[in-house]
Amino acid sequence: MKFLWDSAFGLLVVTGGLLGLTLPFGKLATAAGVPAMVWAFVISLGAGGVLLCVLLLRGQRVRLTAHKLRYFFVTAAVSYAVPNLLMFSAIPHLGAGYTGIMFTLSPVVTLVFSILLRVRRPNMLGIIGIAVGFIGAVMVAVTRGEAGQPADLFWVVMGLLIPVSLAAGNIYRTVDWPESTGPIELAVGSHLASATLLLAGILALFGVEAFAPLGGVPLVLVGQVASASAMFAFFFRLQAVGGPVYLSQIGYVAAAVGLFAGTIFLGEHYQLLTWAGAAIITAGVFITTKAQSQAVAKPQPA
pLDDT in tens, the chain (302 residues): 566 777 777 888 888 889 888 889 998 999 999 999 999 999 999 989 988 988 898 888 888 899 999 999 999 999 999 999 999 999 898 888 888 888 777 777 877 887 787 766 557 887 787 788 778 878 887 887 776 677 788 998 999 999 999 889 988 988 898 988 887 888 899 999 999 999 999 999 999 999 999 999 999 999 998 888 888 778 778 877 777 667 767 777 787 788 788 888 778 888 888 888 888 877 877 787 677 666 555 544 43
Using alpha carbons only, how large is the chain's radius of gyration in Å?
19
pLDDT at site 297: 56
So what's the pLDDT on residue 40?
94
**What residues contact residue 266 under an 8 Å CB cut-off, 6+ apart?**
24, 27, 28, 95, 96
Handedness of CA 271, 272, 274, 278 (dihedral sign): positive
In this structure, the number of other CB atoms found within 10 A of the CB of residue 46 comes to 21
- 86 and 158 in contact (C-beta within 8 Å)? yes
Model's pTM, two decimal places? Answer: 0.78
pLDDT of residue 119: 66
- CB atoms near residue 254 (< 10 Å): 26
> What's the burial of 116, exposed, middle or buried (CB within 10 Å: 0-12/13-18/19+)?
exposed
pLDDT at res. 266: 79
Query: Could you give the CA distance from residue 274 to residue 167 in angstroms, rounded to a whole number?
Result: 22
Element containing residue 30 per DSSP (H, E): helix 8-31
Number of neighbouring beta carbons within 10 Å of residue 125: 17
